[in-house]
Amino acid sequence: MKPKFTFIDLFAGIGGFHHALDKIGGRCVLACEFDEEARLVYENSFPSENGKNYKFVENIRSITRHAIDDENSLKTPRQINRIVPDHDLLCGGFPCQPFSKSGEQRGIRDTTRGTLFFDIVQIIESKRPKYLFLENVRNIAGPRHEDTWQTVIGSIRELGYHVSSNPMIFSPHLLPPSRGGAPQVRERVFIVGVRDDLANDPLISIAEFNNELIEKKLWDPSQWRIADFLDADTAIPNLQQYEISDNELMYVNAWDYFVKNIDTDHLPGFPIWYFAFTEKPEITQGMPDWEKNFRVKNSAFFNEHRSFIKEWSQMRWGAAKQKVGEFPQSRQKFEWQASKYHPSKRGRTLSDLVLQFRPSGIRVKPPTYLPALVAISQTSVVGPALRARSKGKFRKLTPIEAARLQSMPESVYSTKIVSDQAAYKQLGNAVNVGVIRAVAEILVGANVEPEKKVGVQKQLRF
């Protein structure tokens, strides 16, 4: 079948853009990914067969330079044009590198040269696709990176594209399940561009993206149930490898006892620090204000619950028989963020909640939606009361479950192509398929009634 549109997938990762665009009638003509293990997963998901052949490039600079490591060996637009197939949509989650303020500030070739964004610029300049669809972390549009944001937007405009100055920030936990949403808080910035000669087409209006995806309340995230995205323990091969370690269980049991038994309906919203449970806050010269604040609050909390905390501090936990004060300092820190789920002491427990073992402490969340998957070892831990046919132990998400939170097909990791560690890293770097699809449907008009050229709001059939 003839595709509705064609696209190239730059910095492709494991294929989040490809999964989304394929579902709405797009066909990939070129993919580019540097990481070898990510390429294995990508090519397993999208084998070049059945008339869906696409070119796969390992290094984007093999497209844009004669010598990959030589910044002065740039290929001409004509040379790039011969390498990259024609396409309607250029997409990618590009790495954000700092842009130079040096030189004569002659525009994009001066400010972005040497960065991977500059390689995207070269391809756009050479191929002039109709649409651009880029993704990045939320911070790229934050106050600390204002220069970077302005450079990216200015560069796209200088290339002849209509793009909004206002960042479009969206997360899959705000999309309903019927549209591919998922219970993961993953706010990302999406940059959508339309070539200037198409920008006046009434089918395209950049302003409508915020109206359709952000200003409208599409879904109440409190309706999510993480349990719906989890496999029964009995269905997981090698279940033990996902269960938390004995030491981690020791930390959890100590804090679970604390949560269940301390005589207060409302646990503090500030981080609880065991080592700061002192009668008077231990303030030192040069201590930052935020730390002073936490120590003052922890001292007040300790004085209010002195008897219980002193008794708890003498208890020993796990096979190692350690007291809380003997835990690593990061495990003496506890962040309770589940007050809405457990508004009172009654029935309060960690077993029906979500945990994260972070450098900043053990963070506890309600079972409605998960923190963002990250590319380091901070995989969320789900309590046994959350899961069907539970074996009674806290365990980490499996790669297949994590893929569901990225709205990806289970087939992506149903075959053991890469290690679990690699899979978690890949998913932490990936885009969410549901969100990509929701934005792309507006951008390329995938669900537009062709006989009617009306505003985007009237075109969309949710």
- Catalytic positions, written as ranges: 96
Residue closest to 278 by CA, chosen among 258, 259, 303, 255: 303
Q: Residue 386 and residue 398: Cα distance in Å, rounded?
A: 15
Cross-strand pairs, 334: 272, 362
Residue closest to 268 by CA, chosen among 330, 333, 357, 353: 333
Report yes or no: 324 and 312 within 8 Å, Cβ to Cβ: yes
Q: Residue 442 and residue 114: Cα distance in Å, rounded?
A: 33
Structure letter (DSSP) for residue 91: E
Helix (H), strand (E) at residue 136: strand 131-137
**Cβ neighbours for 393, distance < 8 A, ≥ 6 positions apart:** 243, 244, 249, 384
Amino acid type, 263:
D
Query: Can you list the positions of beta strands (E) in 314-378?
Result: 333-336, 354-358, 361-365
If phi > 0 it is left, if psi is from -120 to 50 it is alpha, else beta; for residue 319 that is alpha
Q: What is the DSSP string of 8-34?
A: EEET-TTTHHHHHHHHTTEEEEEEE--
Residue closest to 367 by CA, chosen among 247, 171, 224, 241: 224
Q: Go through the chain and tell me how many residues it has.
A: 462
Q: Residue 16 and residue 225: Cα distance in Å, rounded?
A: 23
Residue closest to 184 by CA, chosen among 224, 145, 151: 224
Residue closest to 242 by CA, chosen among 407, 429, 37, 420: 420
DSSP SS3 for 75 = coil
Q: Name the H helices within 188-344.
A: 207-210, 246-261, 289-304, 306-313
